[in-house]
């Protein structure tokens, strides 16, 4: 069953409490068992199980021809994946950190994203590129970047960012089953550590996460469908990844009747859900961790302006990361947090 079909009934499924890392591992395990064309490749994904342990145990269960290590060459990893996909496999390459993906950008943009078009549909590139992204582990400027806007700019690529273990599993399964290349960014700030969404200081982000309920077995969440985190009438908040939780915490503390939309997939974007919400509330706040200039938030602002202009009661607000290299010791000040988000909310509510 492909992701565009109706998912299995989750109301009858048993659940387990999983962290996002465990949910991703579960999705890969299921797809390796379900589809013999699925292969997992990358640096240290095999015997070691990945730098964040997302592929732990998969090689032992599925064998060295299905889960295997590669040289330290992101261009080679993506290039090999394009060749595999053209011959009918469904590779799931892991890039250890999103910051390392740039050497593979040419293969993604010039080959994977163009293959269906340039071959008139004779070949496709069903590749799912997994990469942890964003801050939260004091990784500094070479282990904390959020480059999603680079990929949303490329026609032919789909871009996915989950915010919960439940969605991470269902969206990853859907991405692997998709016949076009997907960039699957995993926010490492909520991989394993306890999430303290409101405060500006970290609370041991490497500790054991209590997790959330994730259905056992197969289920797919179709790409291009946003999730309404909470309904509200006074303000629409657009966010994805870690920022969904930050928005929830800040708005709950301020007592604002806000409608929070977790975009989940940036491309394809559920613009209908966005438009419907903004028409109802008349106000819109966009939050993302990436740098401000040319960030994906700029595209969201443009779309809301084009489609909802006559419903807007106040200028659209953006709260983002700063246009600086990613700081190490000051990363919690770099994140959009309660102060900056609160100020933007106050401006919007003042109208």
CB 85 within 8 A of CB 126: yes
Active site residues: 143
Angle at 124 between CA 122 and CA 129, to 5 degrees: 170
CB burial readout 159-191, b (16+ within 10 A) else e: bbbbbbbbbbbbbbbbbbbbebbbbbbbbbbbb
Which of the 8 DSSP states describes residue 62?
H
**Phi and psi dihedrals of 176, rounded to 5?**
-65, -35
CB 262 within 8 A of CB 211: no
For the chain, what is the largest distance between any 2 Cα atoms, rounded to a whole number of angstroms?
60
Joined tokens for residue 115:
């293959």
Joined tokens for residue 293:
């200039």
CB 149 within 8 A of CB 185: no
Beta strands in the chain (DSSP E): 15-18, 38-42, 67-69, 90-94, 128-133, 158-160, 182-187, 212-215, 227-230, 235-239, 258-262, 265-267, 284-291, 317-321
CA dist 243 → 237, 263, 351 (Å) = 10, 11, 23
């Amino acid at each position: 069953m492909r992701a565009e079909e109706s998912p299995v009934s989750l109301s009858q499924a048993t659940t387990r409490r999983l962290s996002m890392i465990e949910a991703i591992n579960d999705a890969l395990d299921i797809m390796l068992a379900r589809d013999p064309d699925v292969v997992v490749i990358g640096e240290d994904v095999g015997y070691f199980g990945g730098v964040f342990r997302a592929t732990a145990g998969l090689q032992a269960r599925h064998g060295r021809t299905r889960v295997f290590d590669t040289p330290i060459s992101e261009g080679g990893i993506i290039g090999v994946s394009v060749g595999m996909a053209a011959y009918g496999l469904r590779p799931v390459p892991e890039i250890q950190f999103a910051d390392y993906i740039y050497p593979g950008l040419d293969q993604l943009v010039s080959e994977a994203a163009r293959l269906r078009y340039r071959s008139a549909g004779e070949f496709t590139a069903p590749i799912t590129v997994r990469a942890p992204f964003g801050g939260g582990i004091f990784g500094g400027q070479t282990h904390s970047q959020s480059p999603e806007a680079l990929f949303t700019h490329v026609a032919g690529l789909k871009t996915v960012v989950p915010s919960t273990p439940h969605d991470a599993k269902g969206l990853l399964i859907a991405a692997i089953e998709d016949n076009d290349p997907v960039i699957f960014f995993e926010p490492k700030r909520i991989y394993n550590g306890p999430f303290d969404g409101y405060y500006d200081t970290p609370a041991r982000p490497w500790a054991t996460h209590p997790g959330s309920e994730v259905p056992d077995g197969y289920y797919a969440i179709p790409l291009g469908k946003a999730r309404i985190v909470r309904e509200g009438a006074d303000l629409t908040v657009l966010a994805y990844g870690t920022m969904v939780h930050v928005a929830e915490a800040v708005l709950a503390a301020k007592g604002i009747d806000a409608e929070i939309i977790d975009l989940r997939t940036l491309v394809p974007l559920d613009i209908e859900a966005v438009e419907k919400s903004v028409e109802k509330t008349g106000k819109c706040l966009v939050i993302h961790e990436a740098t401000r200039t040319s960030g994906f938030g700029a595209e969201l602002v443009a779309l809301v302006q084009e489609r909802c202009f006559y419903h807007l009661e106040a200028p659209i607000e953006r709260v983002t990361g700063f246009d600086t290299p990613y700081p190490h010791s000051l990363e919690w000040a770099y994140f959009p947090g309660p102060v900056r988000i609160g100020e933007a909310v106050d401006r919007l509510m003042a109208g």
